[in-house]
């Protein structure tokens, strides 16, 4: 049995679909591809396939990952060319590698993700870049940012997501280029925070009186795993 | 590839399920508009997820687009959030494939599946910036055409449509588009063009007819143009094997209601249940050959990657030698990990056996529609299954390991008594006890009860619907019966939406004014409980000075001129009269009448 890990980008035309839609899209593409797929045993066999981390609706991405098990040996290059033929052009399959199939699953490896939010130019909030920067400083200085989460039996609970914002900064840019916010956020099974939530909190801190809703374009730059307490891009070794 | 228009793009991040509006799905057609002679949009007056589950849409999309000189794109009703933004930003309704406004096409065709989507038709025309009334449309505006089951009584929609296509369109629509292109070469005006089109079989141009009413009744249908045909005959596909059928249907990104490969076994139904419009308007029964079914199933699975295949028809087990077909499909799809299902099962042991053979994986629920709970009432509607057959069939299913059943019933059927209504709960109670003795495990039963809606072109077309308070009273009897029955899940349809459906199902042109008012008052998605507002509808009826009860509860006489009597579904009036009489005179000819 082979385990293949693959790397792909999601471009704007496909950014409107949800994680479950992405899962179905890949599963159907894999089924059309004729690759020797592996299914789980049992009553409802399902394809042994994973995406590293759900990609939110309205977010594009340059370095996403998935993994799939195959019953026969297929070279990474052959895998890429076979699957590429079944994927829409906005889903850009870039490369693949063979993985040790006893290693932990791809989703369990993910610990953080880097997002870039670009402030659109039109019909937008009129706050200037210095106001945005000051608002971000205030947000990052907070010790607690609470999110209401509905747990089992409809119990409401609050989670402090401030520790999940590992880093957030505006990129130094000239007056001409749009404002870009980078956010390195904890993600994966040990908890995380949505980039949309961070932006929402930033806008609250900004408290601009212009009444124009800001339009942010969101992009996920990369995913990280934990390597001896340091973040290492998931693309390492590919 | 189409780049979504910047204007649309800027709205999408603010709406639910933006992929409803982006198109570009796998297997979608992408045709360059340059050089194409006839351009059509198929407009489905409901959400994307509903429209993309419709098999008719997929068939027509294939039948037109496989011809290089024409194209068909798709448009769906935008959800409320999107509509609000589109209106705020002055963005017209656009087609998914090219992003072009509907008004730029030659034809806009509406799929008319359900009476409660009529306000969405008006709303979509309005959003597209196309004049609502056909009589007010200018030369440069698209022709607006309607088809589908509701085109068999389209009278409430008549003023809003240039023409209707009666019957099955997969063969005649491409022909008609080619004709349209040829007619256009002679550069006629709109009126001449429509007169020309009306000569084609299956084409109904409502403006060529004028109804005359007297004392609330339809007295005559006058021909405005003496050349217009007196009766419009439906179009029909003779041979399903050679008719267009998609081998590579569009795969939606979003999960739709029926998100699977579908191969049609046969069209039409020989059962003749007296309430069922589909059973009459799709006559006669035409089957697809086994070879063709297996071939299409293989192609669809290979070209879509779907994990589920549905064998569609109005009554699956009526397909002759279905067991052999299943064997062949088994061989053809071996190793593909495809789940097959057989909807529209009849409640008999043979059906259970076949469903079971086809099934892989967990045996969860089977669905059946006994429609009525007493043998007497089942005979009235010609759903001829005995109580013994029901018990044997469901017992077999329990033995085979099925874990539950969903059962569909109707209330308000002609001749129904309180006992018939109470019998639904009693039948479920007996089934429950039977399952307990037999299985020794929990078998779930869920019951869904709708209200009878008399439909045009059925033997019950002359029958009234029960008055609303009476429906409510019978629903209470129903709930009473299920009160002390834990483990049985009961749901019932809203009586008011069924009432409205009945008004329009047998309506005439005077209802067009009501529709227009309802649309202006904000009625949309009336089939969706969360959007339906009876008070708005009541106001629309008041504004148009029409009593809806006059329509829903009207009993027609055999001699009455029916609003749809000029539309020929292929079944003679005498057949409907005979079937109607039989329904009320049961003992005379029950035995042996069946098939």
Closest residue to B304, CB basis, from A18, A28, A88: A28
The answer to whether the beta carbons of residues B261 and B310 sit under 8 Å apart is yes
CATH code of B29's domain: 3.40.50.280
> Which tokens belong to A46?
């399902």
Contacts for A193 with CB less than 8 Å, ≥ 6 apart? A147, A161, A164, A165, A185, A186
Closest residue to A32, CB basis, from B19, B253, B305: B305
Q: Would residue B305 be called left, alpha or beta, if left means φ above 0 and alpha means ψ between -120 and 50 degrees?
A: left
Whether residue B280 is contained in a domain is answered as no
Q: What is the pLDDT of residue B358?
A: 80
Question: Tokens 């009234």 correspond to what residue?
Answer: B464
Give the residue-averaged pLDDT of A116-132.
80
The SS3 assignment for B437 reads: helix
Closest Cα in chain B, distance from residue A42 (Å):
8
Whether residue B354 is contained in a domain is answered as no
Buried b (16+ CB within 10 A) or exposed e, B268-303: bbebbbbbbbbbbbbbebbbbebebbbebbbbbbbb
The answer to whether the beta carbons of residues A144 and A162 sit under 8 Å apart is yes
The answer to whether the beta carbons of residues B394 and B438 sit under 8 Å apart is no
Q: What is the pLDDT of residue B353?
A: 87
- Quickly state the pLDDT bin for A120 (edges 50, 70, 90): confident
DSSP A134: H
Element (H, E) at B82: helix B80-88
- Which residue ranges in chain B fall short of pLDDT 50? 1-3, 590-595
Say yes or no: A17 contacts chain B, CB-CB below 8 A.
Answer: yes
Say yes or no: A60 contacts chain B, CB-CB below 8 A.
Answer: no
Cα dist from B64 to A223, B46, B175, B239, B250, whole Å: 45, 21, 9, 18, 14
**Cβ B4–A123 below 8 Å, yes or no?**
no
- Quickly state the pLDDT bin for A173 (edges 50, 70, 90): low
Show residues of chain B in contact with A18, CB under 8 Å.
19
Whether residue B542 is contained in a domain is answered as no
Query: What's the burial of B216, exposed, middle or buried (CB within 10 Å: 0-12/13-18/19+)?
Result: exposed
Closest Cα in chain B, distance from residue A227 (Å):
36
Contacts for B332 with CB less than 8 Å, ≥ 6 apart? B294, B297, B298
Show residues of chain A in contact with B99, CB under 8 Å.
none
Show residues of chain A in contact with B24, CB under 8 Å.
13-14, 88, 90
Q: Which domains does chain A have, with CATH numbers?
A: 2-103 (3.30.70.580), 109-233 (3.30.70)
How do residues B1-29 score in pLDDT, each as one tens digit? 344 567 788 789 889 999 999 999 999 99
> Cβ atoms within 10 A of the Cβ of B27, count?
16
Query: What's the burial of A33, exposed, middle or buried (CB within 10 Å: 0-12/13-18/19+)?
Result: middle
Whether residue B193 is contained in a domain is answered as yes
Number of domains in chain B: 1
Q: What is the pLDDT of residue A121?
A: 64
Distance CA(B396)–CA(B212), nearest Å, equals: 57
Chain B interface, mutation test: which of A31, A56, A82, A214, most B Cβ atoms within 10 Å?
A31
The answer to whether the beta carbons of residues B416 and B462 sit under 8 Å apart is no
> Which tokens belong to A30?
């894999």
Show residues of chain B in contact with A39, CB under 8 Å.
337
Nearest chain B residue to A58, by CA: B13
Domain ranges, residue B29: 6-225
**Cβ A16–B12 below 8 Å, yes or no?**
yes
State the Rg of chain A over Cα.
20
Nearest chain A residue to B361, by CA: A43
The sheet carrying B261-264 orders its strands as: B261-264, B308-312, B339-341
Whether the ipTM is more than 0.95: the answer is: no
- Quickly state the pLDDT bin for A177 (edges 50, 70, 90): confident
Alpha helices in B521-572 (DSSP H): 534-543, 548-552
> Which tokens belong to B77?
């009703």
**Cβ B19–A16 below 8 Å, yes or no?**
yes
Q: Of residues A153 and B552, which shows the higher confidence score?
A: B552
The answer to whether the beta carbons of residues B329 and B336 sit under 8 Å apart is no
Closest Cα in chain A, distance from residue B96 (Å):
13
Q: How far is CA B348 from the centre of its chain?
A: 26
**Cβ B307–A31 below 8 Å, yes or no?**
yes
Give the residue-averaged pLDDT of A9-32.
96
Q: What is the pLDDT of residue B3?
A: 44
**Cβ A27–B305 below 8 Å, yes or no?**
yes
Q: What is the DSSP string of B383-409?
A: ----HHHHHHHHHHHHHTT--EEEEEE
Pairing of strands A146-150, B203-204: unpaired
**Cβ B1–A25 below 8 Å, yes or no?**
no
Query: What's the burial of B109, exposed, middle or buried (CB within 10 Å: 0-12/13-18/19+)?
Result: buried
The SS3 assignment for B246 reads: coil
Q: What is the pLDDT of residue B552?
A: 98
**Cβ B19–A44 below 8 Å, yes or no?**
no
B436: closest CA among B491, B470, B394, B406? B394
- Quickly state the pLDDT bin for A123 (edges 50, 70, 90): low
How do residues B355-401 score in pLDDT, each as one tens digit? 888 877 777 889 999 999 999 999 999 999 999 999 999 999 999 99
A207 has pLDDT over 90:
no
Pairing of strands A91-99, A2-10: antiparallel
Distance CA(B379)–CA(B143), nearest Å, equals: 45
Mean pLDDT of chain A: 91
B456: closest CA among B350, B565, B590? B565
Q: What is the pLDDT of residue B1?
A: 36
Nearest chain A residue to B307, by CA: A28
B174: closest CA among B296, B62, B33, B74? B62
- Quickly state the pLDDT bin for A174 (edges 50, 70, 90): low
**Cβ A45–B251 below 8 Å, yes or no?**
no
Whether residue B215 is contained in a domain is answered as yes
């Amino acid at each position: 049995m082979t385990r293949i890990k693959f790397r792909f980008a999601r471009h704007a035309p496909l950014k409107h679909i949800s994680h479950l839609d992405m899962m179905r899209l890949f599963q159907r593409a894999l089924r059309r591809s004729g690759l020797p797929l592996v299914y789980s045993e049992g009553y409802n066999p399902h394809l042994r396939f994973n995406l590293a981390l759900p990609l939110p609706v309205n977010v594009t991405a340059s370095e996403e990952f998935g993994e799939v098990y195959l019953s026969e040996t297929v070279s990474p290059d052959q895998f890429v060319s076979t699957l590429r033929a079944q994927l829409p052009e906005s889903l850009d399959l870039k490369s693949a590698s063979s993985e040790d199939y006893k290693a932990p699953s791809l989703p369990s490896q993910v610990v953080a993700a880097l997002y870039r939010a670009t402030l659109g130019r039109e019909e937008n909030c009129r706050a200037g870049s210095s106001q945005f920067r000051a608002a971000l400083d205030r947000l990052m200085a907070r010790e607690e940012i609470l999110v209401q989460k509905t747990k089992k039996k409809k119990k409401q609970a609050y989670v402090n997501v401030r520790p999940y914002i590992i880093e957030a900064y505006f990129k130094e840019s000239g007056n001409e280029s749009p404002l870009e916010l980078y956010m390195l956020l904890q993600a994966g099974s040990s908890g995380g925070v949505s980039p949309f939530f961070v932006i929402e909190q930033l806008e609250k801190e900004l408290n601009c009186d212009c009444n124009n809703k800001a339009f942010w374009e969101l992009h996920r730059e990369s995913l990280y795993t934990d390597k001896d307490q340091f973040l290492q891009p998931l693309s390492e070794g590919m | 590839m189409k780049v979504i228009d910047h204007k649309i793009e800027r709205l999408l991040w603010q709406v639910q399920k933006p992929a409803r509006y982006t198109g570009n799905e796998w297997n979608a057609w992408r045709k360059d508009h340059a050089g194409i002679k006839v351009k059509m949009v198929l407009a489905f007056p409901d959400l994307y997820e509903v429209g993309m589950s419709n098999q008719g849409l997929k068939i027509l999309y294939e039948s037109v687009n496989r011809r290089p000189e024409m194209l068909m794109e798709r448009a769906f009703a935008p959800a409320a959030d999107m509509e609000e933004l589109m209106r705020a930003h002055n963005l017209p309704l656009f087609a998914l494939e090219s992003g072009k406004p509907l008004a730029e096409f030659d034809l806009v065709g509406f799929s008319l599946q359900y009476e409660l989507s009529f306000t969405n038709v008006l709303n979509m025309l309005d959003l597209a910036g196309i004049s609502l009334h056909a009589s007010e449309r200018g030369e440069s505006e698209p022709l607006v055409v309607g088809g589908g089951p509701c085109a068999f009584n389209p009278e409430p929609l008549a003023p809003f449509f240039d023409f209707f296509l009666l019957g099955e369109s997969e063969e005649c629509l491409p022909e008609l588009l080619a004709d349209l292109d040829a007619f256009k070469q002679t550069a006629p005006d709109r009126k001449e063009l429509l007169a020309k089109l009306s000569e084609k079989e299956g084409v109904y141009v409502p403006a060529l007819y004028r109804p005359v009413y007297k004392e609330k009744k339809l007295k005559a249908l006058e021909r405005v143009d003496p050349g217009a045909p007196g009766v419009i005959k439906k179009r029909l596909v003779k041979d399903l094997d050679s008719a267009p059928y998609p081998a590579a249907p569009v795969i939606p990104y979003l999960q739709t209601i029926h998100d699977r490969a579908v191969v049609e076994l046969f069209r039409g139904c020989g059962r003749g249940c007296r309430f069922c419009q589909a059973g009459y308007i799709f006559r006669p029964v035409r089957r697809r050959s086994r070879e063709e079914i297996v071939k299409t199933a293989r192609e669809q699975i290979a070209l879509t990657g779907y994990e589920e295949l549905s064998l569609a028809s109005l009554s699956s087990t009526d397909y002759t030698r279905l067991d052999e077909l299943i064997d062949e499909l088994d061989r053809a799809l071996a190793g593909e990990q495809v789940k097959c299902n057989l909807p529209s099962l009849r409640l008999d042991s043979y059906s259970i056996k076949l469903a079971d053979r086809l099934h892989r994986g967990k045996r969860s629920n089977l669905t059946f529609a006994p429609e009525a709970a007493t043998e007497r009432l089942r005979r009235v509607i010609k759903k001829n299954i005995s109580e013994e057959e029901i018990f044997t069939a469901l017992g077999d299913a329990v033995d085979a390991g099925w874990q539950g059943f969903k059962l569909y019933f109707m209330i308000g059927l002609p001749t129904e008594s309180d006992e018939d209504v109470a019998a639904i709960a009693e039948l479920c109670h007996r089934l429950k006890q039977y399952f307990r003795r037999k299985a020794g495990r929990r078998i779930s039963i869920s019951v869904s009860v709708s209200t009878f809606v008399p439909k045009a072109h059925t033997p019950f077309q002359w029958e009234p619907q029960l008055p609303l308070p009476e429906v409510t009273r019978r629903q209470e009897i129903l709930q009473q019966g299920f009160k002390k029955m834990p483990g049985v899940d009961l749901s019932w349809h809203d009586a008011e939406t069924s009432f409205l459906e009945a008004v329009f199902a047998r309506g005439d042109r005077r209802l067009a004014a009501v529709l227009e008012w309802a649309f202006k008052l904000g009625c949309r998605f009336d089939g969706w409980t969360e959007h339906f507002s009876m008070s708005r509808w009541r106001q629309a009826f008041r504004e148009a000075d029409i009593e809806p009860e006059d329509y829903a509860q009207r009993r027609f006489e055999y001699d009455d001129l029916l609003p749809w009597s000029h539309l020929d579904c292929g079944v003679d009036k005498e057949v409907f009269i005979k079937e109607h009489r039989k329904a009320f005179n049961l003992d005379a000819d029950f035995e042996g009448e069946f098939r």
